Amino acid sequence: LGSLLFILSTQLAFSQEEPFAARITFGYNDAEPTRWTGRVTADNARVAAIEGWHFLADDRISLNTFDIQTGAELSKGITVRGTGSPGARISVETSQGTLSFLISDLRLGEEVALLEGAARVERLPDAVKLTDDFRDDDYPSIAVVDDSTAWVVWQSYSGQFDEVRISKYDGGWRTFTRLPGVSGDVWRPQVALDAQKRPWVVWSQQVDSNFDIYARALDEGSNTWLKVVRLSSHPYADIDHHLISDHEGGLWVVWQGFHGDNSDIFLRHYNGSEWSEEVRVTEHPANDWEPRVAVDDQGKAYIVWDTYRNGNYDVYMRAYENGNLAPEEPVAMTPKFEAHASVAVDGAGRVWVAWDESGPNWAKDTGATIDADWRGKSQDERRRHWPGVRIYESRNLNLVVLEGSGRKMPVQDVQLAVSKEGESHDFPQLLVDRRSNHIGLLFHRRGRTRRALRGGRGRAYWETAVTFYQGDTWQPVLAMPNSWGRSSMRPAAAYAPDGSLWVTWPTDGRLYINTHQPVVGNVYAAHLPLEEISQFPVLKPWEETEEIEVSPAHGNEVADLTAIRGYRTFVHGVEKEIVRGDFHRHTELSWDGGGQVDGSLLDFYRYMLDAAAMDFGAVTDHLAGGGYEYWWWITEKSCDMYHIPRVFTTFYGYERSARFPNGHRNVFHTTRGIPVVSFFTEAGFDGPLPGVSAGDLMENDTKLLYDSLHRTGGIAISHTSGSSGMGTDWRDNDPEVEPVVEIFQGLRVSYEHLGAPRAARGPDDRPPGGFQEAGFVWNAYRKGYRLGTITSSDHSSTHISYAMVYTEQPTREAIFEAIQKRHTYGATDNIILDYRMGEHFMGEEFTASKVPPLKVRIMGTSQVAKVEIVKNEKIIYSTTPDKRDVTLTFVDQDEAPGTSYYYVRVIQDDRQIAWSSPIWVTYQP
């Protein structure tokens, strides 16, 4: 392709002392552990820094020397950064041989083999860190003024509040200013230029308990910021905006707004003197997500978004011209997960749309015991029977080009071009330069390290990468250096007038030794020069994929939701409704998953609002991600962003993962800003928090947690109580702050009692998480503990665990109070279970001279095969109604003095189960 290749090649014509960066990797032929020692020298170049790549604890760099150990499938390397003149050469003398190369011979994104393939070298972009290691910086955006001037904005966190910071490049990067008057909760600031080349910053900010969209421009001539413009004003959250400027310097902003029971897409336009009125782009009752906008040379805007209107995520587009909205147009509408759309218009007026996709039945039924024959099987064997795919099972890229009424696509499939084994790719951002016809695609890709911190499988990381479509081929993928971070981090890029590309990206500095652990959030930027294109992009007619036949995991789910949400009953004269939630979910922030299957922090809200249609819930990452202040900050901030009154109620939560016999517990609060209660460890413990073992904990660790919750008004919920490493022997309980227990977990099994439905009969069943009989819930009841029941998910599992709460209204305070009263039950489907004894409701305790009748009302999602009443570890009544709507009354004739507990277990013909909270009766004749 020669001159057709963008100079991401870099046959760079160095002027005096141009910057360079090169990575040399060793150990590609090593079948056994091999020591590589050596030193770096340079001719016609000055080396500013040598950094390790994929280093572990025993690898070292000292000045210009290094000492590393590679091994089978474990290559490592060094990155050399500096400045050099034309003809600059780097030489590396190693214990395995000497290699050297000219910087000018290296091309970005292409590796050169040296030492007969034992080592490789590649050119890296010259990345500049814009931030200072003292704050957590995130979500950058970039706007390019001309060939030598650009602006970057980002959100910056420290000390319990965010700022918006802005930096300018004019021969060098410099921190220009903070956006004045902005502090507190900030979300994704973005920058674009108006017709006067003034940078406009648009951001979402929480003010008076509501997120709205704001805009402000900088007039450099007068060195003043213009007046703040509030672009949205609805009392519910307006977030996830996208800002661009058109070829005339007009500004366009689209965003996602929760203006009722669902989110819709909105738009405003700035014509150079004033902002238009708000335009409502969508009005469908389903949730619409994450819009993006592009404008052609005639001023016609194209808005894309993804929507759950068809029971799965699909991509739609709508054009806006001269104040009029065209009809909506489906772009990607299959049973697959199709989301995170991006749009751009090329020089020929063709509209390019990209998105990422996952499998059908996204986030529907997944979990260990879906397979009726799960006992004794491995996780992989059980997973073959799951009708759904996990939240981040995989992500692929897809792309279509809309030309008139026709659909086209690149000759080379983009996913095949960028794929490597074990990778996933998401959040594509189309980059189209109409002047040069450069077509680029910026995206996030997931890789895995080949070694974990403490053995086992490698851990996932995400990094920023870019590829370009030239002729009929996607060029080699170029990963941005120092871009490892969370999956929810987002880069940005913009073309300069000369056709070069400016890229900015966030990182949290995580290292190969532990790709989950963040160091500090920073923002980087790089300038990629591109060659002139003489061959325009070659397209072919769109090829429809084979039609996918998908059986819904729950055929009557809409009707079941309508029934349970419409159910009302009276408890002590007060009308109650059922709200459904999940109090045990993990995201990218948990150290034992890192988002490999659980998805990002933002995926949690998609799952809860759409796929599971929950009414309340909480993110419960381990110690809110490991005790990192910024991660707890963004977790709590996301709870505020997606707290939608009467639709979805969020709680501030995390998991404390104390080993057996103390046991794992999830912790929840209704108010923000309460610190995470870490582990109480013995004196002398200095290991990383994920490595805390039972012997490291103080004996009264759980009691100290209870003391903290009494002071802060929180609650704890024990989970996986009967697992070998995570469970408890029920040595601890405080009824005021630990009112309920997770009796069943979707990832694992039931912990009701030995041999119960979906519970282990013994260790030979190989229950996920191991086996510990002392932790079964019946043992807690035997000790006299008053524990209501819920069910939850944990990692991986989706859509089969529901914490059901009877509450007066769906607010944080009311739901929390209802849980404290144990007015709860657990279920694996949307089963309605109403259970009481006389005037007393499930979860309550009372004293009586005569045991009143038990009254049970059940509305199943399938035929109710069996109803059982359990008293003091015995089934005292059982019936097989074989119908969906069941009402029964039972009177216990055994009125022995003392305290007894009674609860109801419902089993349907499809194996779905519900467990009521017990009622405790003290009989005094």
The pLDDT tens digits of the residues spanning 462-471 come to: 999 999 999 9
Q: Write out the H or E segment, with its range, that includes residue 439.
A: strand 438-448
- What would the mean pLDDT of 867-890 be, rounded to a whole number? 98
Task: Identify which of 96, 107, 114, 106 has the alpha carbon closest to the alpha carbon of residue 30.
Answer: 96
- What would the mean pLDDT of 346-350 be, rounded to a whole number? 94
Q: Write out the H or E segment, with its range, that includes residue 467.
A: strand 460-470
The pLDDT tens digits of the residues spanning 601-621 come to 999 999 999 999 999 999 999
223-232, 369-378, 455-464, range with the lowest pLDDT? 455-464
Is the C-alpha dihedral spanning 113, 115, 119, 124 positive or negative? negative
- What would the mean pLDDT of 562-568 be, rounded to a whole number? 97
- 593 pLDDT band, cuts 50/70/90, is confident
Inter-residue contact 494 to 143 (CB < 8 Å): yes
**Residues 36, 858: Cα–Cα separation, whole Å:** 69
Per-residue pLDDT at 350 exceeds 70? yes
Per-residue pLDDT at 532 exceeds 80? no
Per-residue pLDDT at 458 exceeds 70? no
- What would the mean pLDDT of 216-235 be, rounded to a whole number? 95
Average pLDDT along the chain: 93
- What would the mean pLDDT of 618-632 be, rounded to a whole number? 94
3-state secondary structure 60-96: EEECCEEEEEEECCECEEEEEEEEEEEEEEEEEEECC
**Residues 690, 514: Cα–Cα separation, whole Å:** 11
pTM: 0.95
Amino acid 522 reads N
Q: How many Cβ atoms are within 10 Å of 30's Cβ, its own excluded?
A: 19
**Residues 832, 58: Cα–Cα separation, whole Å:** 58
Task: Identify which of 668, 654, 667, 582 has the alpha carbon closest to the alpha carbon of residue 625.
Answer: 654
Instruction: Give the pLDDT score at 421.
Output: 66
Task: Identify which of 486, 493, 509 has the alpha carbon closest to the alpha carbon of residue 132.
Answer: 509
**Residues 399, 370: Cα–Cα separation, whole Å:** 35
Task: Identify which of 109, 52, 104, 105 has the alpha carbon closest to the alpha carbon of residue 76.
Answer: 52
Strand blocks (E) in 95-198: 97-102, 112-114, 119-123, 128-129, 136-146, 149-158, 161-169, 173-178, 185-193
Task: Identify which of 695, 724, 713, 705 has the alpha carbon closest to the alpha carbon of residue 819.
Answer: 713
List CB contacts of 62: < 8 A, sequence separation 6 or more: none
- 2 pLDDT band, cuts 50/70/90, is very low
Inter-residue contact 368 to 374 (CB < 8 Å): yes
Q: How many Cβ atoms are within 10 Å of 563's Cβ, its own excluded?
A: 16
Instruction: Give the pLDDT score at 473.
Output: 94
Per-residue pLDDT at 647 exceeds 90? yes
**Residues 144, 142: Cα–Cα separation, whole Å:** 7
Residue at token pair 């090169």: 22
- What would the mean pLDDT of 877-884 be, rounded to a whole number? 98
Inter-residue contact 867 to 855 (CB < 8 Å): no
Give me the count of residues in the chain.
Answer: 925
**Residues 474, 415: Cα–Cα separation, whole Å:** 10
Label the pairing between strands 845-848 and 715-718. unpaired
Instruction: Give the pLDDT score at 685.
Output: 82
Give 259's Cβ-side CA count (13 Å radius): 19
Task: Identify which of 126, 114, 30 has the alpha carbon closest to the alpha carbon of residue 76.
Answer: 30
Inter-residue contact 815 to 808 (CB < 8 Å): no
27-41, 169-183, 202-216, 542-556, range with the lowest pLDDT? 542-556
Instruction: Give the pLDDT score at 14.
Output: 36
Per-residue pLDDT at 769 exceeds 80? yes
**Residues 360, 425: Cα–Cα separation, whole Å:** 17
3-state secondary structure 478-524: EECCCCCECCCCCCEEEECCCCCEEEEEEECCCECCECCCCCCCEEE
Inter-residue contact 842 to 855 (CB < 8 Å): no
45-54, 152-161, 593-602, range with the lowest pLDDT? 593-602
The pLDDT tens digits of the residues spanning 717-730 come to 999 999 999 999 99
Residue at token pair 């055994």: 894
- 579 pLDDT band, cuts 50/70/90, is very high
Per-residue pLDDT at 454 exceeds 70? no
Task: Identify which of 348, 346, 411 has the alpha carbon closest to the alpha carbon of residue 542.
Answer: 411
- 534 pLDDT band, cuts 50/70/90, is low
Per-residue pLDDT at 698 exceeds 60? yes
Amino acid 282 reads T
Task: Identify which of 121, 100, 107 has the alpha carbon closest to the alpha carbon of residue 53.
Answer: 121
Per-residue pLDDT at 540 exceeds 50? yes
Q: Write out the H or E segment, with its range, that includes residue 325.
A: strand 324-325
Instruction: Give the pLDDT score at 60.
Output: 94
Per-residue pLDDT at 419 exceeds 90? no
Per-residue pLDDT at 860 exceeds 80? yes
Per-residue pLDDT at 896 exceeds 90? no
Locate 255 and state its tokens.
Answer: 């965003």
Per-residue pLDDT at 10 exceeds 60? no
Ramachandran class of 771: left when φ > 0, alpha when ψ lies in -120 to 50, beta otherwise: beta
Label the pairing between strands 229-230 and 224-225. unpaired
Q: How many Cβ atoms are within 10 Å of 783's Cβ, its own excluded?
A: 10
Locate 445 and state its tokens.
Answer: 């890709």
Instruction: Give the pLDDT score at 670.
Output: 98
The pLDDT tens digits of the residues spanning 86-106 come to 889 999 999 999 999 999 999
What is the C-alpha R_g of the chain? 29
Cα 499 from chain centroid?
34
Instruction: Give the pLDDT score at 8.
Output: 37
Instruction: Give the pLDDT score at 422.
Output: 66
Is the C-alpha dihedral spanning 552, 556, 559, 560 positive or negative? negative
Q: Write out the H or E segment, with its range, that includes residue 427.
A: strand 424-433
The pLDDT tens digits of the residues spanning 383-411 come to 888 999 999 989 999 999 999 999 999 99
Percent of the chain with pLDDT over 70: 96
Give 576's Cβ-side CA count (13 Å radius): 23
